[in-house]
Structure 1
Amino acid sequence: MSGNDTPCTVEARQGVSVLYRGRYLFSRYEPQKPLQKTLETFTILPESLILCLSPVLPFPVDLIREKIMREGIKGCFILCAETDPVLYDFYIEHKKNDCAQKSGDENIGCPDAAVLFKKETEIAQLLDGADFAPRYSGTPLPPIGFFRRVLVLEASGAAAMCADFYKALFSYAQNSIAVFWKNRMTLVRLGRLFSHNILRNTAQAASSVSLIPASINRPILVAGAGPSLDKLIPFIRHYAQKLYIIAVDAAFRALYDNGIRPDALVTVESQAVSRRSFIGARESGIPIIADMCARSANLRITGGSLSFFISEYANLPLLERIKKTLPDVPVFPPLGSVGLAAVETALFLRAEGTNVFICGLDFSYPAGLSHCKESPSRKEEHASSGRLMPQGNPASAFRDGASFIEGKDGTLLACDPALHSYAELFSARYKNAAHIYDLSLSGAKTGLPFLSEEDAATLINREANRTQDKLTDSGGAGVTEQTAARPAQSAAHRTSAVHSFYAEEKKRLHTLRSALTGETPLNTEDLKALLEECSYLYIHFPDGHRGASLSQSFLNRVRSEIDGFIKDMETSIDG
């Protein structure tokens, strides 16, 4: 390594600068002054993750900590981010020398650490608890729920040398924390309902049939309930017999009323409002594929087979116990959107090389037209419309948080933060998946290749002919496509496993209730362990992400939750 590639300290008029690759990383005259001026106008709020970009020397961290302690700001953490291995090693060496000369009390009030990042996305993994040793030095990073926001400071001239990298790093950190708190808000609002539903549905899972991976050899079409579905109805009806159609629950009537019988409906909604999607579906015999968190009362309406998947909506021991009880129920990530869940189901079911077509997954809408025709919301608008209240809901495009985006065809479409996040997640998750195509001309950009109806028809016919050739070669003795859902365990085995699960779960809750009422006290260690095993009792508390607490207020709130869950399990067993 040449001397030009090795950082070295240079005496400045007031302090020390660093020369690296032919440029000074701090001022040659007063190295600390620019950062001091920046910090004078820099607002640091409590519970902030402060990204100190490429500090090079220890003094930027010292200056930030001095400001935090001087202003009495609580709950901050300084994370020194570096992407250059040479500068990382240089910082660590000088940090050790600096600490050796100090008393060691400087870290009190605001801990710090340094990380060498190779990819921008690694900061999301770090915030999720990934181990970055030996590229991590300093105080362990607190859980992501410790932080409310991310602040960023360019500590040296080296940060400008990798400006795009650090800009992306900051964006990923900011997004990770924002997503965490968005999910927390969802859990506070719906976490109790999720837990009640999943315990009720465990009983239904005992008699459900299992989704078999790679079991569908026909092309799969996933139909969402966006406005773009309307234009594709004739095409879907024409090729329905050659497709395996998976529809989101809200798209059921749009298809069924046009003579198209979906092969399966996917539902994830946990609230009672979801029942309106199943109007007209009673005794239709259409199979339902449901999230274990979905509203249990909806799942037998069609009279068809019932299959489940598990969304890991939180890191709960309960979910691990359910997965052991029902090992053949697939586990999907918590995608939030029924459209994404339907696509995930399609990719799970399709055989290798099978094409998947999507339509109606718009994640946006023209002003006043949020869903396809015959969807529940459109039917309600039609039923309530009149001379003084015309059909449509244009106000939804102008409510707080709504904005307009450019769609696939260049038109402006209404969107909101939730839809926008679903569109981004869809693109990030599926844009590189093989043999998956978008048939909709309108809607938000999905990152998938667009396929015209003519090109889609060519692929569908080619795949149908290939399947028929296989049947002819085998003398018609069987079919190449397994049923999409069939028992993987005997009903008796599943029922026995579910009854054992309920018995053990009720025993936990009875033990906890006895401890909290003083009937059978537990020592502190055992009580906390039992609370953590039953974390679904408090995951929806505003402070539930901090884990179990032994404060009387917390224990009183936990006690009030227990009876409802015991009743759920007893009712489910009797039913």
Structure 2
Amino acid sequence: MELNIPQKPCLVQTAQGFSVSYQNRFLYSKYAPSRAIDGAIASLSILPGTLILALSPALWLGLDKLLEKLPEDSFILGIEADRNLHEFAEKQLEKIKKDQAGESDNGALEKLSRIVLLPFEQNDYIVNILSGETSSENIGLPHLSTFRRAIPIEMSAGTQFSKEKYFQLASLAQNTIASFWKNRITLTRLGRLYSRNLFKNLANIPNAVDFKKLMGKITRPIFVFGAGESIEESLSKIPKVLLEKCFVIAVDAASTSLKAYGIKIDALVALEGQLAIEKAYIGGSAKSSLIIADITSRKQITRHTEKAVTYIASKYTDSTFFKALSQKDFFPPVVPPLGSVGLSAVYIALLLRENQNLPVFVSGLDFSFSLGRTHAKNTPAHIARLATSNRFNPVENYAAAFRTGARQIIGKNNIPVFTDTALEGYAKSFADAFATSPNLYDAGKQGIPLSIQEINSDKVKAYLETLQDSQTETSLSSLLKSATNDGKDKPQTVLEYLEDEEKALNRIKELLMFGKDVASCSCSLDDELEKLIAQREYLFLHFPDGYKCKTSDLSFLKRVRGQIDFFLKDIKQGVTTLLSL
């Protein structure tokens, strides 16, 4: 009988050093083990702030060459997807560090401290570790802001045992770093607006419908409309009387287009925080709709409905203040930051449906456009082109198809469309978020494939014709009435929170203006400032360096002082509103 004994990695002596034998194959050349990895490292251009992903390091051959090229603020993260190889690489790294410990070269020792082997059990949590959700300090990595990029290097042939796994882990690390800096750019531009809108909207929560009470209550099929061109085909082929059997959810930019077709919108999703979105509400398109607004959206849009308003909270930051606020009973449910109002509308639809057997149809989430157009007819973008067109500036927007980054692709049903990097990113995010969602159908005729089941308008029409009226008789008005906030203490809890924030901001302002003259006896001025400011990241979240609370930096404190009055104004307005209830 032949015994199948698991093979452990073992050293093999060669003419030019050691190689490793594992699973009946050499992980390095048996003639010149370090030649290949040395050549790969020699060709690398490593910039400061680089996280080098050492895939399957095994013997860590080439590490000396890599350390010679390692610039400041750069680290080496070893990744091993095989348990036996991980144990082998861990022992080899310990030996290298132990041997080097006897050296007197402080520079070499400092660089060795920047080598980390990701624990085998933490492989699947690499995103959490890098993003700080699981403390990266425990394994020796600094804050994610240290890195600008990640470069993968195949350190041995051990990657061949599970090439997809190594590629996936490297891709996750690269995407995590890229996402961090994309989010930083967004927060630098819009972070203060989001935070100010949040405080303005808090005062509206006591009078709003509780979104948690709406979740799982829609018993009709749901139809989600974006503002892409494909809604024109859906709206022209599916009769209005059949769409009335559905619970219709639309992004705010599509409301005027649906109104032109006479479609009743049950719920309108509003995420935008800037003034420009007001154009979507011209003509009373949201007058009879439930507005599902983000807590960071523009406060004034809620006045455009006579129906009701309910709130969700996009997690636009991982900060301490947002986490603490999300634990409050009055705060709306937190949803992931999907980046697009269309994606958020689909996410909301899946939360609202009674069960997974109810179909959700999607149209208008094209993430692309045809030559000369960008949105469906009668959307704000189309109306603006009509209003400004003349013989020098035609209605057709050809410039969009030829701008930097735009390119033509073949989309659904072999229809050529134009897209760009941002739109493609949204399409990929859609696929990542919803590819496995049951009974979610793409009813759009054109655009980028969404990785969900496609269905044409004729089949949607045929399905809706089979539904009896009794199956779609969900009264939105009665549902909203039962979900309306009836807690008498809700205005008081929101008021208490805003008053506490007002006191804290006034205290920070006082400390910054008068310093030690008003400092507390129980702790030092620096400690009190650190405690108060670190818990209120909205004061500095939008700074270019807003990922750090640097209360020891005078420049930082001056900038924080400049933000306090903006937030005090918004909080005082909210307090006044709540006191008048």
Structure 1 residues 460-483: Cα deviation after superposition (integer angstroms, max 9, x where no partner): 344445627xx8xxxxxx979961
Task: Give per-residue Cα distances to partners, 1:98-120, cap 9 Å, x unaligned.
Answer: 33333175441351111256898
Q: Which structure 2 residues correspond to residues 355-434 of structure 1 after superposition, within 5 A?
A: 355-434=359-438
State the secondary structure of the residue aligned to 1:66.
helix
* CA distance 1:410–1:567, change in 2 (3 Å): same
Identify the match of residue 217 of structure 1 among 216, 219, 230: 219
Does the aligned pair in 2 maintain the 1:311–1:333 contact within 8 Å?
yes
Measured in 2, the distance between the counterparts of 1:141 and 1:339 equals 36
CA contact (8 A) 2:225 2:363 kept: yes
Pairing of 1:214-253 with structure 2 (within 5 A):
214-234=216-236, 235=238, 237-253=240-256
What SS does structure 1 have at the residue aligned with 2:101? coil
Match of 2:491 among 474, 490, 495: 495
Query: Which residue identity lines up with residue 92 of structure 1 in the other structure?
Result: E
Q: Quick check: 1:194–1:270 contact (8 Å CA) kept in 2?
A: yes
Change (3 A) 1:371 1:137: closer
Partner residue in 2 for 1:450 = 454
1:76 maps to amino acid: S
The CA RMSD measured in Å over matched residues stands at: 2.5
Aligned partner of residue 5 in structure 1, secondary structure? coil
Please give the secondary structure, in 1, of the residue aligned with 2:67.
Answer: helix
Offset of 1:329 from its aligned partner?
1.8
Q: Distance in 2 between matches of 1:480 and 1:502?
A: 32
- 8 Å CA contact 2:314–2:337 kept in 1: the answer is yes
3-state SS of paired residue (1:63): helix
What do the CA deviations read for 1:393-418 (whole angstroms, capped 9, x no partner)?
11112211222232111122111222
Does residue 550 of structure 1 match 2:552?
Answer: yes
Report the AA paired with residue 8 of structure 1.
C
Matched residues in 1 for 2:286 and 2:415: separation? 41
- Partners of 1:573 and 1:480 lie apart in 2 by 31
Once residues 242 and 97 of structure 1 are traced to their aligned partners in structure 2, the CA distance between those partners, rounded to angstroms, is 70
C-alpha distance in structure 1 between counterparts of 2:326 and 2:134, whole Å: 26
Aligned to 1:413, the other structure's residue is in SS state: strand
* Counterparts of residues 247-262 of structure 1 (less than 5 Å): 247-262=250-265
How far off is 1:284 after superposition? Answer: 2.3
Amino acid of the residue matched to residue 556 of structure 1?
A: K
Amino acid at match of 1:386: N
Matched ranges for 1:338-349 at <5 A: 338-349=341-352
Residues 224 and 249 in structure 2, CA contact (< 8 A), matched pair in contact too: yes
How many percent identity over aligned positions? 32
Verify the 8 A CA contact 1:349 1:484 in the aligned structure 2.
no
Residues 118 and 59 of structure 1: CA distance in aligned 2, closer, same or farther (over 3 Å): same
1:156 is aligned to 156
State the secondary structure of the residue aligned to 1:247.
Answer: strand
CA contact (8 A) 2:255 2:286 kept: no
Q: TM-score by structure 2 length?
A: 0.90
Match of 2:533 in 1: 531
Q: How does 1:121-520 map to 2 (within 5 A)?
A: 122-129=125-132, 131=134, 139-211=139-211, 212-234=214-236, 235=238, 237-281=240-284, 284-327=287-330, 329-352=332-355, 353-464=357-468, 467=471, 483-484=479-480, 486-487=482-483, 489-490=485-486, 492-519=488-515, 520=518
Query: For residues 342 and 550 of structure 1, what CA distance do their matches in structure 2 show?
Result: 43
Q: SS state of the match for residue 153, structure 1?
A: strand
Structure-2 separation of matches of 1:158 and 1:124: 22
Match of 2:220, as an amino acid? R
For residue 313 of structure 1, report the CA deviation from its aligned partner: 0.2
Tell which deviates more after alignment, 254-263 or 520-529: 520-529
Structure 2 letter corresponding to 1:370: T
Could you tell me how far 1:34 is from its partner in structure 2?
Answer: 2.8
Does the 8 Å contact 1:268/1:293 carry over to 2? yes
Alignment check: 8 A CA contact 1:120 1:168 kept: no
Task: Evaluate the alpha carbon distance shift between residue 554 and residue 340 of structure 1 in structure 2; reply closer, same or farther with a 3 A threshold.
Answer: same
CA contact (8 A) 2:370 2:416 kept: yes
Distance in 2 (alpha carbons) for counterparts of 1:2 and 1:15: 30
Change (3 A) 1:559 1:491: same
Aligned in 2, Cα 1:332/1:400: closer, same or farther, shift over 3 Å?
same
Shift of 1:226: 0.3
Q: From 71, 78, 81, give the equivalent of 1:80.
A: 78
1:103 equivalent among 93, 101, 104: 101
Q: Deviations over 1:409-440 (max 9, x none)?
A: 11221112221111111111112111211111
The residue identity in structure 2 corresponding to 1:405 is: I
In structure 2, distance between residues paired with 1:451 and 1:481: 31
Q: Aligned partners of 2:492, 2:8: CA distance in 1, in Å?
A: 68
The aligned residue for residue 560 of structure 1 is 562
Bigger CA drift: 297-306 or 194-203?
A: 297-306
Q: Deviations over 1:449-470 (max 9, x none)?
A: 11223332343344445627xx
Is the Cα–Cα contact under 8 Å of residues 81 and 123 in structure 2 kept in the other structure? no
Tell me the residue number matched to 2:91: 93
Gaps of 5+ in 2: none
Equivalent residue for 1:474?
Answer: none
The offset of 1:7, in angstroms, is: 1.5
> How far apart are the structure 2 equivalents of 1:123 and 1:321?
25
Aligned-pair distance for 1:127?
1.8
In 2 relative to 1, CA 328–550 (structure 1 residues): closer, same or farther, beyond 3 Å? Answer: closer
Question: Aligned partners of 1:444, 1:89: CA distance in 2, in Å?
Answer: 44
- Please, what TM-score do these two structures have when normalized by structure 1? 0.91
Specify whether residues 321 and 37 from structure 1 end up closer, same or farther in structure 2 by C-alpha distance, changes over 3 A only: closer
Given the superposition, is the C-alpha separation of residues 227 and 279 from structure 1 closer, same or farther in structure 2, using an over 3 Å criterion?
A: same
Q: Supply the AA of the counterpart residue of 2:155.
A: A
Deviation at 1:86, TM superposition (A): 0.9
C-alpha distance 131-289 of structure 1, shift in aligned 2 (>3 A): closer
Moved more, 170-179 or 180-189: 170-179
Deviation at 1:328, TM superposition (A): 6.1
Q: Distance in 1 between matches of 2:83 and 2:251?
A: 49
CA distance in 1, matches of 2:134, 2:208: 39
The answer for unaligned runs of 5 or more in structure 1 is 472-477
- The 1:384–1:505 alpha-carbon spacing in structure 2 relative to 1, beyond 3 Å, is same
